[in-house]
Amino acid sequence: MQLTKEKVMLTQKTIDIVKSTAPVIAAAGPAVTQHFYQRMFQHNPELKDIFNMSHQQGPDKNTPSSQQQALFNAICAYANNIDNLAVLLPAVEKIAQKHTSFLITADQYQIVGHHLLATIDELLAPGQEVLDAWGEAYGVLANVFINREQEIYQESDDKIGGWRGTREFVVTSKQPNSELITSFTFTPTDGGQVATYKPGQYLGIYINAQELANQEIRQYSLSSAPNNNHYRISVKRETQGTVSNYLHDKINVGDKIKLVAPAGDFFLDVNPQTPVTLISAGVGLTPMLAMLETLTQHQAPVNWLHATENGQQHAYKDHVKTLANQHSHISALTWYNAPTSGDRQVEDYDYQGLIELDKIATQISDPEMHFYCCGPVGFMQFIAKQLIELGVTSDRIHYECFGPHKVL
């Protein structure tokens, strides 16, 4: 079920106060959210077991982190559209899906609301009338999230093989795919089935270890087509990645791990006659793999366009090539930015440099074609710009950001 339109049950006076004071909060900049997070973690340190603390670190002390910037943008967007909530529904759905991977509860919304109002009061001292208006507005928004998240929890629980909360799995396979990416396969220890998912969605992973300061929760895209027996993720080792390094270095076949059911608002959603192009860079190929494997029986053309640095970082090269050879409707093209001396054009890759879509414009010119994209934000912005210049309408461009969401 997708999020439906909600009516904002607020008085006109409250709406007017929130909209009139929104510019004051906007002028304060991300200092508002920086203060909010510092205050919340000081008074409720248990929430460090839920939030990704690496997203709280900006490039320097004067620059907000990605998570702080995302929250600031969300506050401003809500305040400016408080009388037109329908505009925000896609963003609400995205956040609600992510919240279910963190098992967010109604009580935690109360904690967040308390610290948000306290932050506004401490930084801006706007007076009780303004605080009451913002409190009322926050309560309405919190209820929208709480209700939608309860629906998602219930939908997951009702599936065959579904569950709510965490469930114990065992690692049944650990397979390096490139010098940076390793795949992990998880099978439930209770011997039951696993819930199906939509290709493109992610899996929630809970890590508790003595060497880690807090419980760590991450979401990793499922990298294979749905099945009833197991899940597979493919994880890139990040230089400063607390969890990615832990998985690569510490987790092995036979180890047990707690997982939360698949979720996410980015997924393959086309009819069998719709042509599809999958575009990825680096580890962005993970949700694309789940889509590609699902599209092997598709009735329309499918393009796989992937960019990576070189052959040493090219994950699933042989697997994708095999699928393309076995299915005539699938075409696979690869770009290497900096091929090594051992990389051979045609055999290992098709083009050198960045993806330039005008070179294959004819192949992706179908006006009914849908495009799914995943990779670094800069890469996706580069691709989206090219697609728009080629006449692709925005409703046919779908993308996923790893980490806090950004608009392309």
* 8 Å CB contact between 115 and 32: no
Q: Which residue has the tokens 């270890």?
A: 209
The pair of three-digit structure tokens given for residue 370, joined into one six-digit string:
């849908």
Q: List Cα–Cα distances, 148 to 94, 145, 199, 298, 403, in angstroms.
A: 11, 5, 21, 32, 21
Does 301 belong to an annotated binding site?
no
Does 376 belong to an annotated binding site?
no
Does 220 belong to an annotated binding site?
yes
Does 403 belong to an annotated binding site?
yes
* Cα(33)–Cα(68) distance, integer angstroms: 5
* Cα(334)–Cα(349) distance, integer angstroms: 5
* 8 Å CB contact between 372 and 276: yes
* Cα(303)–Cα(206) distance, integer angstroms: 34
* Cα(222)–Cα(392) distance, integer angstroms: 27
Q: Strand order in 302-308's β-sheet? A: 351-352, 330-336, 302-308, 276-281, 370-374, 397-400
Does 219 belong to an annotated binding site?
yes
Does 153 belong to an annotated binding site?
no
* Cα(285)–Cα(351) distance, integer angstroms: 17
Beta bridge partners of 402: none
Does 401 belong to an annotated binding site?
yes
- The catalytic residues are 109, 149
Does 239 belong to an annotated binding site?
no
Does 90 belong to an annotated binding site?
no
Does 285 belong to an annotated binding site?
yes
Question: 288 — phi, psi (to 5°)?
Answer: -65, -35
Does 37 belong to an annotated binding site?
no
Beta bridge partners of 279: 305, 373
Closest listed residue to residue 6, CA positions, set 85, 111, 97, 108: 85
Does 254 belong to an annotated binding site?
no
Does 378 belong to an annotated binding site?
no
Does 311 belong to an annotated binding site?
no
Strands 302-308 and 330-336: parallel
Residues 6+ apart with CB under 8 A from 21: 79, 126, 130, 133, 134
* Cα(224)–Cα(123) distance, integer angstroms: 48
Q: List Cα–Cα distances, 177 to 166, 248, 283, 316, 373, in angstroms.
A: 28, 12, 11, 6, 21
The pair of three-digit structure tokens given for residue 61, joined into one six-digit string:
């002390």
- How many beta carbons lie within 10 A of that of residue 198, not counting itself? 19
Q: Which residues are annotated as a binding site for FAD?
A: 202, 218-221, 401-404
Q: Which residues are annotated as a binding site for heme b?
A: 99
Q: Which residues are annotated as a binding site for NADP(+)?
A: 282-287
Q: Which residues are annotated as a binding site?
A: 99, 202, 218-221, 282-287, 401-404
